[in-house]
Structure 1
Amino acid sequence: MPAERRVRVEVEGRGLELSNLDKVLYPASGFTKGEVIDYYTRVSTALLPHLRNRPLTRIRYPNGVDASFFFEKNAPASTPDWVRLERLPSPGSSKDREVLDYVVCDDLPTLVWLANLAALELHVPQWRVGADPDLMVMDLDPGAPAGLAECCGVALLIRDRLDADGIASYPKTSGRKGMQLSCPISGRQSAEVVSGYARRVAEELAREVPKSITAQMAKRLRPGKVFIDWSQNNAAKTTVAPYSLRAQPVPSASTPLTWAEVEAAAEGEPGAVRQFPAAEVLSRIEEYGDLMVELLDGGPKLPLR
């Protein structure tokens, strides 16, 4: 076998050794590890604020998206000493560990290091280290033949329902088949309160539009409907970060949307909303900036009713 090709680089004063930059990680499109690193470098200004101070769960694809993969929460043994680690409780750990050393990606060198490990997908919880949740997520999962257009119609209903309680919401694609609404909240209430509120809203809308929406997790109830997954707000759950790549045949990314795009898709305009590829995500940032930047400012406490 040929020797592994390694390149020494310096990123913001940190020395990194990158390997196998020409290795294809997305075989259907020929997208290489070097292109993954390039994407994460170019998207970093928009992405990093959404990762900062949040313990990171990575999904790694060392041999590409068509090969085996693994979830990684604990920092690998080879982690550089300058990477920020936080030792935190890990409920539901697959290895029965009470605490894990989580990577916290606060800067570009850490992001490049992760990309070099083929950590294609970056997932974060709705809370920051040492704080209660400052985000609420409404995850929309379509059951075929429902698709992204149907998710957009449900997203509009959720937006209007949350707006009645003074809660703003920001839409993004999941990068796979569905989408999420992210809502800034105060960070002064428990995950149980947040999850309970999200469940009440989901169940209320499911009662109002039972032919299109379900708030129940049973997969047999999902065909032709959009499942509003309120359980994403459980303290142990994570959600794909805005701008994270996804392990699909084409290197798509979780992409923030405008509400005008969501409305157009719900009305049936072809291509108004889709799972955008990496190159288009970068172009959208040039055009719109970060459409989810207001998430970073926080929001109100949730109604207790």
Structure 2
Amino acid sequence: MARFGRYTVELSNTDKVFFPDAGISKGDLIDYYSAVAEWLVPHAKDRPLTLHRFPDGIDQDGFYQQQRSDYFPDWIQSRKTARVEDSHEDEKAVDHVLCNNQATLVYLANQGVITLHGWLSRAPRLTRPDRLIFDLDPAHKDFGTVRRAARQVAALMQQLNLTPYAMTTGSRGLHVVAPLRRGQQFDAVRDLAQAMAQHLAQQHSDDLTVEQRKDKRQGRIYLDVMRNAYGQTAVLPYAVRAKPGAPVATPLDLDELDDSGLDPQGWHIKNILRRLGQKGDPWADIRRHAVSIEGVRKALDKMRD
């Protein structure tokens, strides 16, 4: 049993090995999420979650879960979401878990949740995103091309009066995110992201593309903005990935994109807390820099004329 304020979490099978290559147990995962909660929970707060669960560790089959389990304790908050943006019919609703405190994070880890993926909007205004995201994955093993693409995305964001925030995904690539005021619906944000991607692909045609078909990308980095839609998710900052070594999605200072040694899986549960103790969270002030997209769109249109 572990107590977190008013809440008690019953822990089980903490010796079970979850990451065999690194000898990381379920108990180690629980300890990590307990320790990182002060940095992770502010990014998760009020966001409906998709849970990536591996009850028997990453060498066994896992599954994604959106609907809150009936056996979850009553103190775990949740939010019903319509399956489509313009629907409010109860029979189409999914009851998503919200992770708004340390106890919930620990409880989910005890249930074998390794990775948390969050919506780009927060309750109660779920149709109004507060983040715009570019998802960049390498076309080949040269991660330098992804770092360069992230720099190009960030530079455009800055030119448009957006504030860019970069993060390794703990998998293969990088996310570049800009915080938004919650004034517009997803369609408007997605349209803006697509227009930004098209502009970047035109300006850097040797490096970047908006071509969805892999056989037409010719080694260029695909500017993926498809996550900017209602109900889509992105891995949360400081979430663990279900990969060997337990890598962690890690927020970066922008100048770290210039580091040739940057590795998308270089931060993991055995070293990320030391980094946080030394540097703090580079995304700690992200919400303070939210802007309205109306001015951004006008600036982009003017740039493209």
* Aligned with residue 277 of structure 1, among 268, 285, 296: 268
Residue 168 (structure 2) aligns with: 173
* Aligned with residue 130 of structure 1, among 124, 127, 133: 124
Q: What is the SS of the residue equivalent to 2:285?
A: helix
1:40 and 2:33 are equivalent in the alignment:
yes
With over 3 angstroms needed to count, the CA separation of the structure-2 counterparts of 1:157 and 1:44, relative to structure 1, is same
TM-score for the superposition, normalised by structure 2? 0.90
Residue 150 of structure 1 and its aligned partner are, at CA, apart by 1.2
TM-score for the superposition, normalised by structure 1? 0.90
Amino acid in structure 1 at the alignment position of 2:77: R
* Aligned with residue 110 of structure 1, among 104, 114, 123: 104
Q: What is the SS of the residue equivalent to 1:138?
A: strand
Q: What is the SS of the residue equivalent to 2:188?
A: helix
Query: How far, CA to CA, are the matches of 1:156 and 1:237 in structure 2?
Result: 24
Gapped regions of structure 2 (runs ≥ 5): 86-90
Q: What is the SS of the residue equivalent to 2:96?
A: strand
Q: What is the SS of the residue equivalent to 2:271?
A: helix
Give yes or no for contact 2:169–2:264 (8 Å, CA) kept in 1: no
- TM alignment of 1:132-281, pairs within 5 A: 132-145=128-141, 147-222=142-217, 224-264=219-259, 269=260, 271-275=261-265, 276-281=267-272
Query: How far, CA to CA, are the matches of 2:10 and 2:197 in structure 1?
Result: 47
Residue 5 (structure 1) aligns with: none
Give yes or no for contact 1:138–1:182 (8 Å, CA) kept in 2: yes
Give yes or no for contact 1:137–1:230 (8 Å, CA) kept in 2: yes
Residue 295 (structure 1) aligns with: 286
Amino acid in structure 2 at the alignment position of 1:79: F
Point out 4+ residue stretches in structure 1 off by more than 6 angstroms: none
Query: How far, CA to CA, are the matches of 1:247 and 1:227 in structure 2?
Result: 24
Amino acid in structure 1 at the alignment position of 2:109: A
Residue 85 of structure 1 and its aligned partner are, at CA, apart by 1.6
* Aligned with residue 113 of structure 2, among 116, 119, 133: 119
Give yes or no for contact 2:173–2:264 (8 Å, CA) kept in 1: no
Gapped regions of structure 1 (runs ≥ 5): 1-7
Q: What is the SS of the residue equivalent to 1:130?
A: coil
Query: How far, CA to CA, are the matches of 1:165 and 1:208 in structure 2?
Result: 15
Amino acid in structure 2 at the alignment position of 1:300: V
Q: How many residues align?
A: 288
1:286 and 2:286 are equivalent in the alignment:
no
Q: Percent identity?
A: 29
Q: What is the SS of the residue equivalent to 2:150?
A: helix
1:28 and 2:21 are equivalent in the alignment:
yes
Amino acid in structure 2 at the alignment position of 1:87: K
Q: What's the RMSD between the two structures over aligned residues?
A: 1.5
Residue 98 of structure 1 and its aligned partner are, at CA, apart by 1.2
Give yes or no for contact 1:167–1:183 (8 Å, CA) kept in 2: yes
Query: How far, CA to CA, are the matches of 1:169 and 1:259 in structure 2?
Result: 8
Q: What is the SS of the residue equivalent to 1:202?
A: helix
**How big is each residue's C-alpha offset from its partner over 1:145-204, in whole Å with a ceiling of 9 and x where there is no partner?**
4x4321110111111111111001010001000010111111101111111111111111
Moved more, 219-228 or 252-261: 219-228
Residue 273 of structure 1 and its aligned partner are, at CA, apart by 4.1
Give yes or no for contact 1:262–1:273 (8 Å, CA) kept in 2: no
Q: What is the SS of the residue equivalent to 2:270?
A: helix
With over 3 angstroms needed to count, the CA separation of the structure-2 counterparts of 1:105 and 1:179, relative to structure 1, is same
Q: What is the SS of the residue equivalent to 1:136?
A: strand
Query: How far, CA to CA, are the matches of 2:217 and 2:73 in structure 1?
Result: 44
